[in-house]
Structure 1
Amino acid sequence: MRSSSGEQPAQSLPATALRVAYHPLDRLGELPAGVLATIRFGARLRSEAKAAGTGQPAGLTIDVGLEPLHAANSAPTPGAELWFATGPVHTGQWSDGAGSPPCQVRYAHDGHYLFAVVELDEREHGGILLTAERAYAAIRRFQQQSGFPHLLRMWNYMDAINEGSGDLERYRQFNVGRGRGLGEVSQSYPSATAIGKHHSDHILQVFWLAGTVAGQSLENPRQVSAYHYPRVHGPVSPVFARALIAPDDTLLISGTASIVGHHSQHHDDAMEQLEETIRNLSSFAPHVRRPRSANRGDLLKVYVRDPALTPRIAERLRQLYPTSEILFVAADVCRRELLLEIEAISLSPQGS
C-alpha cells in the first residue's frame, strides 16, 4: 500500500497526515487495520464480501454503485478505496429531525478527520432537487454540531445525471437543491465530484471528508470557477472548489474534465478530452508541497462513460503517471458531451 500524503521520513510524518490507498478487488477479505473509511465499488464487490463472511470493516463502510473496470494491464484491479485513521476510530449515527422521513448520517472519526455519508431514496423525498436539498440541509446541520466543521472533500453519486433537457436536467436540478440546502457558505468551498451511476437504484449518495482544521481552496487558472459559471449552465452554479490543500498539505483535486473557461472541449473525442483533462490537472502541480520518491505515487480515479474506452485511456495515463495507483469506474459525467472525468490526490508534477 502506498500513501498519498507525500514522502517524508516516517518518524517526521505528523500524526494527522492523511493516508489513502486503493485495495485490490480480489483481496476484499484482507483489509488492513486502522482504516477510517472504506469505499467499496461495484455490486460484485459487495456480494463477495458477504460470501466471504467478512462483515463490515472497522470504521465507516460506504458501498458505491459504480462498477470498477479492468484496465488491461498486469496490475490488480482496485475495488476499494481506503482512508486510514490517524488515531483510534469512533463510529456513530446522527439523525436529522428537521424533516420526514428522517435523514440519517453515518460517520466515523479519529479525532482529527471525519468521514460521513448520507444516502436518501429520491422516491421518498420528491425527486432529485428536493432530495439534494434535504441531504445538504442535513449535512449543514450535522457539520455545525460535529466538532469537525471544515469540509475538505465531497462526493455526490446519483442516478441518470444527464436525464432531462435544459434546466430540467437532473444535474442542474441537483445543483439547485444543493445550493438551497447549503444556504450561505461562510467558509471556503471543498473540492468535490458529482457523477452519475450506470445502474439505477434511486439513491442520492453524498459522502465527505471533514476536519478540525480548515484546508486551502484552489482554483484552476485555465477554468472559470464553478461557482461563477454563467447562467447558460443552469439556474444555480455548482458550489465546489477545483482543488483543496488539506491541513497536512495533501492536495485533493476535484473531478476534472475537458473544460477550458466554462466551455466543454473536444466533443465526442475521448482521447483529446483526456489530453485536455491532463492539462487541467497539471495546472495544480505547483501546489504539490511534498516531494515524492520513485516508489511512491499518487491516486487517480477515472470515471469513464464508455467502458470500452478504458484500455486506451489507461495506456496513456500509465505513460504519464507510471508510479500512480489508478482506479477506473464506469460512470456518467455531469455534462453529456464529456466522456471522462478524473479526480486525483496529491498529483505529482510529472504530468506537466
Structure 2
Amino acid sequence: MRNGFPELSIAVPGTTATRPVEVWRTSRRVESGFHDGLAYAYDGRYLFCSGRIRHTADYAAATRDAYVRAFELLDRLGYPEVARVWNIVGGITGQVATEGPADRYGEFCQARAQVFRQRGLTVKDIPAATGIGGHDDHTTVYFLATRSRGVIRIENPLQVPAYEYPERYGPEAPCFARATYVAAETGGRSGDLFISGTASILGHLTVHEGDVERQTRTTLENIAALVSGKNLRSHGIDAELTLRDLDCVKVYVKRPHEAEIVRQICTASLGSKSEVGYVIADICRDDLLVEIEGFASISRPDVETVN
C-alpha cells in the first residue's frame, strides 16, 4: 500500500529501460484497506484487490484459499460481480511434482475451478481474465469487481469458449470469458469493455506455431472479431468498435528479441489514442509467442439526434 492505495510489483519486465506502470484511476472518493493478506481499494462502483500466492508444496490449496479469501472480501464489502482478473503465474508452463495436472497453469486452473463451483458460479458469471507467466516463484492475482448488475460476458465467434476446451489442455478448462462489459450506472448505452488476454488460437488450436508475426496478426484479428458490432450486438450490446477504438492495450511477448516486430505490427493496427504497454512474459501454452489484452470505454448517447 502506498499513500493509501494498493501497489503491486509484478515479475514481468518491460521491453525498454523504462519500467511500465499500470494505474487504475477514479474521480470518486476511495476507501482502502487490508483483508487477510489482500490489499484493496474501492470507490462505490469498482473494487480493486490484489494478493500473492506462494508456490508451496500444496500450491492448489494455497490458490483455493486465496480465491476464497477474495470472495469473502467481495461479500463483506458488497461487490458481487467479478469483472476482470489478472493471474501472473510464475513458471506457468513448468512441470509440477503432484498427482494432478502436469504443469503449473493446469494446477492453477483446477484450483480456481473448484472455488468457482463452490460459489455456484456458472459460465454466465465468470470474469474476463489474463493468465500469463511471471519470472518468480509466486502467483500474483489482482482483479476488479463491481456493484453493477449490468455485467455481460462476451465470447469470440472465432474461438471455442475457454471453458469448453478439450481435456488435452488439462483436466480443468480455464474459467474465463473472452471479454466482459460493465454497463454504466446511469444505464443507457455506455459502459466499460474489458478484453481478456487473447492469443493466436482459432477454435481451440494454436495456429502459426513458431511464427511471431503471424501469431500477432491472428491475435489482433481475434480481438477485432470480438469487439465488432456484429459480435457485440449478438450479446445485447449496442456498440461497434474496431482495434483503433481501444483505450488501453497490454502486449505480452515471450521472446525479448521479437518484441520490436510485435510492436511494429501493433502500432500499425491500433489507433493513435491507444495507450500500449509491452512486457516480456511466458504465455500459458509453450507454442504461443504473444498475448494481447485491452480495455475500451464505450460512451454513446441514449438518443441520437438527426439534423
Does the pair score TM above 0.5? yes
Counterpart for residue 319 of structure 1: 268
Correspondence for 2:304: none
Provide the residue aligned with 2:138 in structure 1.
Answer: 203
Deviation of residue 180 (structure 1)?
Answer: 1.5
Map 1:99-248 → 2, pairs under 5 A = 104-123=37-56, 126-164=57-95, 167-183=101-117, 184-185=120-121, 188-197=125-134, 199-200=135-136, 202-214=137-149, 215-248=151-184
SS of residue paired to 2:277? strand
1:48-87 per-position Cα deviation (integer Å, ceiling 9, x unaligned):
xxxxxxx9244221211111113xxxxx956211111241
Q: Could you tell which deviates more after superposition, 301-310 or 136-145?
A: 136-145
Q: What is the TM-score normalised by the length of structure 2? A: 0.83
Q: Choose the corresponding residue for 1:285, options 222, 228, 232.
A: 228
Question: Could you tell which deviates more after superposition, 163-172 or 338-347?
Answer: 163-172
| 8 Å contact from structure 1 (residues 156, 194) kept in 2 | yes
Q: Call closer, same or farther: CA 1:301–1:347 in 2, change over 3 Å.
A: farther
Contact map agreement 1:193 1:255 (CA 8 A) in 2: yes
The answer to whether the Cα contact below 8 Å between 1:151 and 1:208 also exists between their aligned partners in 2 is yes
- Secondary structure class of the residue paired with 1:344: strand
Q: Which amino acid aligns with 2:164?
A: H
What RMSD, in angstroms, separates the aligned Cα atoms of the two structures?
A: 2.4
Tell me the distance in 2 between the aligned counterparts of 1:240 and 1:305. Answer: 22
| Equivalent-residue separation in structure 1 for 2:175 and 2:74 (angstroms) | 17
Secondary structure of 1:64's aligned partner: coil
Amino acid in the other structure paired with 2:115: G
Provide the rounded CA distance (Å) in 2 between the counterparts of 1:162 and 1:291.
Answer: 36
Q: For 2:11 and 2:77, locate their aligned partners in 1 and report how far apart those are by CA, in whole Å.
A: 27
Look up the SS of the partner of 1:308 in the other structure: helix
| Equivalent residue, structure 1, for 2:195 | 253
Q: Distance in 2 between matches of 1:303 and 1:130?
A: 28
Shift of 1:140: 2.4
> 1:91 is matched with which residue: 32, 37, 50?
32
Q: Secondary structure at the match of 1:108?
A: strand
Matched pairs, number: 275
In structure 2, the partner of 1:334 is 284
**TM-score if structure 1 supplies the norm length?**
0.73
1:141 CA displacement: 2.3
SS of the equivalent of 1:69 reads: coil
* Match for residue 82 of structure 1 among 2, 6, 23: 23
Secondary structure of 1:252's partner? strand
Letter in 1 for 2:43: D
Contact 1:68 1:79 in 2 (8 A): yes
> 1:145, CA displacement in angstroms?
2.2
C-alpha contact (below 8 Å) 1:68/1:77 kept by paired residues: yes
Kept after mapping to 2: 8 A contact 1:285/1:347: no
The residue type equivalent to 2:34 in the other structure is Q
Deviation at 1:189, TM superposition (A): 1.1
Identity of aligned residues (%): 30
CA distance in 2 between counterparts of 1:60 and 1:221 reads 36
CA separation of 1:85 and 1:58: change in aligned 2, threshold 3 A: farther
Indicate conservation of the 8 Å contact 1:89/1:109, yes or no.
Answer: yes
Q: Structure 1: which 5+ runs fail to align?
A: 1-54, 71-75, 96-103
